[in-house]
Amino acid sequence: MAPAAGAERIAPAPLGARVLAAFIDISLAAGPAMVATMAMPGAFMTGGARADRWEALLMTALFALALVVAAQLVLLAARGQSLGKLATRLRIVRADGGGAADAGAVVFVRTVLFGLLWLVPPLALVDGAFALLRSDRRCLHDLAVGTTVVKG
């Protein structure tokens, strides 16, 4: 999407900051998800204190994962920032002028839909390659919803 007539070009966020923000976001979700995955078999043992400990670990990990996901979605909808973008001082804005991006598009298309697509590694590479190949550093998920990531 080209900038609107008379709109100034928005300076894209540095690629390194975007990568760091993505690393933070993925790490925050991956930790509890890995603990939950490891605890799941033990939680289904039959009876005993050991099974209870595994079940408690599983429930704690799932609760932590739910909190991270909820915090991410609320921040994205309200501020155009994930926890990683907040830590690296980046934000998601409309590509055609820098205003607030559509919260529904940011949360559901850019984050949830493309987040699920990222579970297929080749699709994640294609999405990220756009930021490397384009001068405006916009990934495929940015192009899909008309957003860009900026510093500030």
Let me know if residue 1 belongs to a domain.
no
pTM: 0.81
DSSP state letter for 112: I
Per-position pLDDT tens, the chain of length 152: 444 554 557 899 999 999 999 999 999 999 998 998 888 887 777 677 777 888 888 899 999 999 999 999 999 999 999 999 999 999 999 999 889 999 999 998 988 888 888 888 898 899 889 989 998 999 999 999 999 999 98
Distance of CA 103 to the CA centre of its chain: 14
Residue 11's nearest CA partner among 138, 145, 143 is 138
Q: Which residue has the tokens 């919803």?
A: 145
Q: Tell me, yes or no, whether 37 lies in a domain.
A: yes
In this structure, are residues 19 and 88 in contact, taking their beta carbons and an 8 Å threshold?
Answer: no
Q: Residue 7 — φ and ψ, nearest 5°?
A: -80, 140
136 within a domain of the structure (yes/no): yes
Indicate whether 31 belongs to any domain.
Answer: yes
Could you tell me if residue 94 is inside a domain?
yes
Q: Is residue 5 included in any domain, yes or no?
A: no
Alpha helices, DSSP H, located in 15-88: 15-43, 48-79, 83-87
The answer to the question of residue 100 being in a domain is yes
How many domains are there within the chain?
1
Residue 34 is part of which domain span? 15-151
